[in-house]
Amino acid sequence: MLEIKGLQSGYGYLQVLWDVSLELNDGEFIVLLGSNGAGKTTTLRTISGVIRPISGEINFLGQSIGGKPGHEISRLGISFITEDLNLFPKMTVYDNLLVGAYSVRDKKKIKETLAYILNLFPRLEERLNQLAGTLSGGERKMLAIGRGLMPNPKLLLVDEPSLGLSPLMTRATFDALRKLNQDGTTILLVEQHLGKALEITNRGYILEQGKVVMEAPTATLLESERVKEVYLGR
Amino acid sequence: MELVDVWNVLAVGLVRGGLYAQMALMLALVLGVMSIISMINGELYMIGAYVSYFAFTLFGLNPILSIACAAVATFLVGALIERGPLSMMRRRAGEDWYLNTFLLTVGLSFFLKNAAMLLWKPTYRGIRWYWEGTVSIGSIGISIDRLVALGIAALTIVALQLFLRNTRLGRAIRAVSQDERGAMLNGININTIYTISFGLACMLGGIAGGSMLSILPASPYMGTTPNNYAWLVVMLAGLGNISGAVVGGFIIGIVESVAFQFFGEGWPNVISFIILIIVLVIKPSGIFGTSVKGVWEQ
Ligand SMILES: Nc1ncnc2c1ncn2[C@@H]1O[C@H](COP(=O)(O)OP(=O)(O)OP(=O)(O)O)[C@@H](O)[C@H]1O
Ligand SMILES: [Mg+2]
């Protein structure tokens, strides 16, 4: 589904990613690990078109998307749930979700997806007419994920969903992601919260200083000395 | 002061207020969506007046169609200005583009004024009336034209609000004004939204110019005063508050009409600016000032 080859990317003169390659198959749920500043967010930003790659290839569903503007990439079926969520604080929850469906013209389809999302996050249903800016941290995260699902994306990029959430809320968020994956959405997750992330994903990549240093099924990663030492602190 | 005068003053104030509200809305919309300070508001108002004038006198269109022509023409002019010079500036200037666009709109404003001067000479081009006659409401008589101008202003303002709140495109405009990255990641083309918003803002000015034609005739420099008022009202209401701009427009309209009644010509201006200064000293963010950027939120 997604194939990245020799990707170099960064901000102006500051190059962050060096020759990154990764692959994501249909229906997979993979995790991208790495310490602070490794370039995880930068990878997601480059895929989603927030920043342009310096060079390298990004292919999505057989189409080259490297350097395309963000709105076009979104319309091709990639939703990016950013770390700061980028909600519309002065709009209601409902309007936020409707903006998520901006590129969907079929009213019936919008209704169906909305019902699915409200079923996944019942809390949002109770707060449909509340302004997004007044939601709690956990609710904001649900809204961001919900909004990202409105266009029925084929690929979901999620940046550190557990950030700032209580263990209970983190569990709920991860459960929702797992359910989404089981329902057919391919997911690329960036996460620091390793234990839980490794439980629900199939495969993982480790990024260090902008380079991929390891790629393995999560079971193997859990056993790896490197992961134990650096990320689990054992 | 007689009761009749009170109603008269109020009526005049409301008509003026409608104009100020539309002009302020124009400014607030561009500021809210694109964060740029536009100085060509008055010139779009001027273009609207000329278009209506020619449509009405030269082509003999009916009043409503004449004003509609002004609306369409100014939307197109606005969209072209955005697509052309403004977006070029945005692409080239990067981070500094706010200041650069401000200067650019100042330049465009001069250009448009002088182009109008060359094309149409400094003569006033007005019409005596769109609809002849006056209506009496209670004890006062108000010309149909004034009443219609006020009605059109009110209608335009309400329509814009409904559009922004309840349509797909309106929501996209609000989304861009609140979080550009969020909007882009949801499939919204920000450049398109900029063009449409700028066009819509210009259209507001055009409608104002067209609908007030029999009261304020078209001339090359007619836009300067409304532009100043747009600024006055927006600063008074507080940047980033569109409803505030509308209310502020009507307040200033009425204040000026009262000032005129009591102190005579020349004073309305002075009093408005004194009010502005007092408000800014007491509450620098304006009467309804908000910190969050947005267009017309609840
Ligand atoms: N907008 C930006 N402009 C310039 N440099 C940036 C920008 N965003 C990130 N960087 C730099 O790029 C490098 C990688 O950042 P990135 O956000 O991709 O890391 P990360 O792996 O997501 O880290 P974290 O776990 O802390 O979120 C860092 O050194 C950072 O300082
Ligand atoms: Mg990050």
DSSP B209-273: HHHTTTTS-B-TTTTHHHHHHHHHHHHHH-TT-HHHHHHHHHHHHHHHHHHHHHH-TTHHHHHHH
Structural domain contains residue B291: no
Q: How far is the CA of A89 from the centre of ligand 1 (A)?
A: 24
Mutate to test the interface with B, among A47, A68, A71 (most CBs of B within 10 A): A71
At what angle are helices B41-57 and B224-237 packed, to 10 degrees?
Answer: 130
For residue B18, give how far its alpha carbon lies from the nearest alpha carbon of chain A (Å).
27
Structural domain contains residue B225: yes
Structural domain contains residue B235: yes
Q: Is the pLDDT of residue B40 over 80?
A: yes
State the average pLDDT over residues B175-191. 96
State the average pLDDT over residues A138-146. 94
State the average pLDDT over residues A109-125. 94
Confirm or reject contact between B179 and chain A (CB < 8 A). yes
Q: How far is the CA of A41 from the centre of ligand 2 (A)?
A: 4
Structural domain contains residue B114: yes
Structural domain contains residue B128: no
Does A38 contact ligand 1 (Cβ within 6 A)? Answer: yes
This prediction has a pTM of 0.92
Q: In what order do the strands lie in the sheet with A2-11?
A: A14-24, A2-11, A55-60, A63-64
Structural domain contains residue B92: yes
Provide the residue range defining the domain that includes B91.
3-121+134-282
Q: From chain A, pick out residues whose CB is under 8 angstroms from the CB of B297.
A: 90-91, 131
Tallying the residues shown for chain A, one arrives at 234
Mutate to test the interface with A, among B185, B194, B242 (most CBs of A within 10 A): B185
What does the pLDDT look like over A188-226, one tens digit per residue? 999 877 777 888 898 999 999 999 988 989 888 878 777
Q: For residue A131, what is the DSSP state?
A: B
- Note whether A46 and A203 are within 8 A (CB): no
Shortest-distance Cα residue to atom 25 of ligand 1: A36
What does the pLDDT look like over B132-162, one tens digit per residue? 888 887 777 888 999 999 999 999 999 999 9
Predicted pLDDT at B289:
67
Q: Is the pLDDT of residue B267 over 90?
A: no
- pLDDT confidence tier of residue B178, bands split at 50, 70 and 90: very high
ipTM of the complex: 0.93
What does the pLDDT look like over A9-26, one tens digit per residue? 999 889 999 999 999 999
For residue A88, give how far its alpha carbon lies from the nearest alpha carbon of chain B (Å).
6
Residue A23 structure tokens: 């692959």
Domain at B81, CATH number: 1.10.3470
State the average pLDDT over residues B273-280. 86
Structural domain contains residue B179: yes
Predicted pLDDT at B166:
93
State the average pLDDT over residues B176-200. 96
- Note whether A93 and B298 are within 8 A (CB): no
- pLDDT confidence tier of residue A233, bands split at 50, 70 and 90: low
Predicted pLDDT at A210:
92
What does the pLDDT look like over A171-186, one tens digit per residue? 889 999 999 999 999 9
For residue B49, give how far its alpha carbon lies from the nearest alpha carbon of chain A (Å).
36
Does A141 contact ligand 1 (Cβ within 6 A)? Answer: no
- Note whether B290 and B297 are within 8 A (CB): no
- Note whether B222 and B46 are within 8 A (CB): yes
Q: How many domains does chain B have?
A: 1
Structural domain contains residue B166: yes
Q: Which of A71, A79, A131 sits opposite B188 (nearest CB)?
A: A71
